[in-house]
Structure 1
Amino acid sequence: MGDPVTGGSEPDQDRPVLRVGVVGAGNISGQYFQAVPRLTNLRITAIADLDADRAAAAAADVPGARIAKPEELYTADDVDLVLNLTIPAAHAEVAHAAIAAGKHVYGEKPLAATTAEARAVLAAAENAGVRVGCAPDTVLGTGIQTARAALDAGDIGVPVAATAFMVTPGHERWHPAPEFYYRPGGGPLLDMGPYYLTALVTLLGPVKRVVGMSSTAQQTRTIGSGPRAGTVFPVEVETHVTGVLEHANGALSTLVMSFEVWAGNLPRIEVYGSRGSLGVPDPNGFDGEVRIFRAEAKEWEPVPELGGYRNASRGYGVSDLARAFAEGRPHRADGELAFHVLDVMESLLAAAKSGESVTIGSTCERPEAVPAAARPEEQ
């Protein structure tokens, strides 16, 4: 790995800049391409995609970025970190290629398609002396961090339980190529579960045991829009998953993840304590209102901002990694947290199949809280 260049925009002219090579220029990449250029400790230098035209279109919108083939990007002297935005089935392969070339890796969720693949990625990174980060970084925004600060301050007493719901009829209604959502590595749990489970672990700590049930109501799906509208494809994963998570602190979280529900009035996340309840905003976003109901109150009240990166977007976890690496401390959206979340999801699916509870083999530390009004290049 070459020496990081220095520079960037004010106020941090002398701060090392981590040079980022992006692999995968699909739908999610646009959010990173908008956010990363405004982060002073990151610079996108190269973009690769199996579709060369798509890579070229992305590079045209990112000043200073060049087009590269994936195999060239991994070994490039002007790349310090590989941002892995490929489909879940390719996450481990891309990560290994980057690590073998001595690059740090930050990937979209999940960390890999299976815990076996994910553990191999983390082991390779440890041997190579490079860092692994993984989405979601939405938990670093003001929404989840404000909720965490309220919990840590004891505002609702001792946490007893939580609920987390993500229900939709499915992504094929709007996505032009939705098949990967319904193949191994996809499904509502592995697709959207990382947002909710990472939030629950951030709020309540690691999970030690799970029980669950699952179903697949439809064996095929039909693309609903775009040039491939009407295309029918098979469903290979569970599309409705429900479970109960036992956290190490004793709290019980009830989780429902579904691609089978057309409408519902369910909260995204709520946490219930011995002295009140906390309403937590959508963990697929970075901000949103946190609400509290105290034992002595008569109604819900808004919670003022207590923590988190303001105006954050996808890519802030990469910036947080870059800052932590420069300072020699752990980054927040790290591989061990992502591995634990993947382990919980895999164990929940196993519990659903066996009908028995499953003890989680992994654990992780709650990441360091993000202070109020923080910027990733400052914390």
Structure 2
Amino acid sequence: MKSSRAESGAGQGAQAGQVVLLGCGFVADLYMRSLAAMPSITVAGVWDQDADRLRAFCDFWGLPARASLADLLDRAPGALVLNLTNPHAHFDTSRACLQAGRHVYSEKPLAMTLKQAKELHALAGEKGLMLASAPCSALGEAAQTLGHALRTGIAGTPRAIYAELDDGFIPQAAYRKWLSDSGAPWPYEDEFRTGCTMEHAGYYLTWLISWFGPVRTVVAASAETIPDKEGTGPFAPDLSVAMLFFDKGPVTRLTCSITAPHDHRIRIVGDKGVLSCAAAWDNAAKVTFARRLTLRRRLMEHPFPRTLRLPQPTHPKVKRWGAAAMNFMLGPAEVLEALHQGRPCRMSNDFALHLTEVTLAIQNAGETAGAQSMTTTCTAMEPMPWAR
């Protein structure tokens, strides 16, 4: 397939609300659950190199299977490609789609190395294409509520942030019983090889970068604390702790693990009190503010924090499935809308690249990396219209 042919229609299908799914493993079912809440977006085709998985997925959801990647792109000129392949395949598959002149929305991570991510970013820029990366929960109601609270100074000047993405002692979980709607098993070997930092850090990094803009310096450490995981290694670190220094934001500590007890809190400590959210994977999670007070000489946060809410409606919600209640299609919908309106995308190419660099710096820090200066940058994200 010649790229000139694809480029000529690069935005047409996307502007019409069409997507194609590249890969139909475990995460693809979560996208399909979210699509049920987004009737303006249609799936124009699906392809996976595993023929049995492709058949099971398309039969379950009633979607058209394609014979190859070239067939997938040819049969839906201009449709936005949702790259839902395994992480180690993201670079090759996204590059092939970009070379064919197609806009790409990639599941996290954008690539497994910074060199690869920069190559994809340069290729997208050269061809005038959008290259966005999950996760998209920064567009969700909880993140946008916290962003609004920061902009309006409810807690005063933010001084420090503690963010936790600990998932429990996952190697002892019943993960072999975790099946998606269409029957795909949770890819435990791939998850352990990719690592919880690459898989999960973005859920709070995107929130933070959307509010404060680029990270200037990462000071992190990472380690493998559980060496005998099931499957074929080598396995990635399963615990990381990072201090993030922003150009225009408070110092943040971010922890990721599949070792420590489940904790998905984020706490923003300001001059007047503390903003909190306890569930990173719930778009509609409660956001609270506890003002600081002195009671009988004791300094404390108010024991009955105030719940903060944005005017409704905000965005389509999805029901909880497993540990998450997230609309995975908020990101693709933002890309499609930006193409249709001819405006900059909130989930920009620069945002995707910077998110990848910061994540890789944390994941690969090890014991001796020390302070790492970031080489990429991006701008803070424009708030959603309903959160201004």
Instruction: Answer yes or no: same fold by TM over 0.5.
Output: yes
How far the C-alpha of 1:301 sits from its partner, in A, is 1.4
| Alignment pair present for 1:301 and 2:300 | no
Cα deviation digits, residues 13-68 of structure 1 (max 9, x gap) = xx941321111101110121222254344221110011112212222344553333
How far the C-alpha of 1:127 sits from its partner, in A, is 1.4
In the alignment, the residues of structure 2 paired with residue 55 and residue 219 of structure 1 have an alpha-carbon distance, to the nearest angstrom, of: 33
In the alignment, the residues of structure 2 paired with residue 118 and residue 340 of structure 1 have an alpha-carbon distance, to the nearest angstrom, of: 9
| Alignment pair present for 1:344 and 2:358 | yes
| Alignment pair present for 1:361 and 2:358 | no
How far the C-alpha of 1:104 sits from its partner, in A, is 0.7
Corresponding position of 1:335: 349
Alignment TM-score, normalising by the size of structure 2: 0.84
Label 1:247 to 1:373 Cα distance change in 2 as closer, same or farther (>3 A): closer
How far the C-alpha of 1:123 sits from its partner, in A, is 1.0
Corresponding position of 1:27: 26
Cα deviation digits, residues 272-297 of structure 1 (max 9, x gap) = 11111100242223221001012357
Cα deviation digits, residues 219-265 of structure 1 (max 9, x gap) = 2213xxxxxxxxx433421111112111112411111111222x25x
Alignment TM-score, normalising by the size of structure 1: 0.86
Structure 2: gaps of 5 or more residues: 1-5, 177-184, 294-300, 319-326
Corresponding position of 1:206: 214
In the alignment, the residues of structure 2 paired with residue 249 and residue 55 of structure 1 have an alpha-carbon distance, to the nearest angstrom, of: 46
Counterpart contact for 1:144–1:287, Cα < 8 Å = no
The residue correspondences of 1:172-251 to structure 2 (distance < 5 A) are 173=173, 174-175=175-176, 176=185, 177-183=187-193, 186-222=194-230, 232-251=231-250
Q: Structure 1 vs Structure 2: percent identity of aligned residues?
A: 26
Q: What code does the residue aligned with 1:280 have?
A: C
| Alignment pair present for 1:321 and 2:335 | yes
In the alignment, the residues of structure 2 paired with residue 219 and residue 235 of structure 1 have an alpha-carbon distance, to the nearest angstrom, of: 10
Label 1:18 to 1:368 Cα distance change in 2 as closer, same or farther (>3 A): same
Corresponding position of 2:97: 98
Counterpart contact for 2:239–2:257, Cα < 8 Å = yes
- Out of 274, 279, 283, which is 1:282 matched to? 279
In the alignment, the residues of structure 1 paired with residue 63 and residue 57 of structure 2 have an alpha-carbon distance, to the nearest angstrom, of: 11
How far the C-alpha of 1:218 sits from its partner, in A, is 2.6
Give the length in aligned residue pairs.
Answer: 353
In the alignment, the residues of structure 2 paired with residue 80 and residue 310 of structure 1 have an alpha-carbon distance, to the nearest angstrom, of: 22
Q: What code does the residue aligned with 2:268 have?
A: V
Q: CA RMSD in A?
A: 2.4
Counterpart contact for 1:143–1:289, Cα < 8 Å = yes
- Give SS of 1:90's match: helix
Q: What code does the residue aligned with 1:345 have?
A: T
Counterpart contact for 2:24–2:57, Cα < 8 Å = yes
Counterpart contact for 2:37–2:317, Cα < 8 Å = no
Label 1:36 to 1:277 Cα distance change in 2 as closer, same or farther (>3 A): same
How far the C-alpha of 1:75 sits from its partner, in A, is 3.6
- Give SS of 1:233's match: coil
Counterpart contact for 1:137–1:317, Cα < 8 Å = yes
Corresponding position of 1:74: 73
Structure 1: gaps of 5 or more residues: 7-14, 223-231, 375-379
Runs of 4+ in 1 over 6 A off after TM superposition: 3-6
- Give SS of 1:295's match: strand
Counterpart contact for 2:12–2:78, Cα < 8 Å = no
After alignment, is 51-60 or 113-122 more displaced?
A: 51-60
In the alignment, the residues of structure 2 paired with residue 74 and residue 125 of structure 1 have an alpha-carbon distance, to the nearest angstrom, of: 17
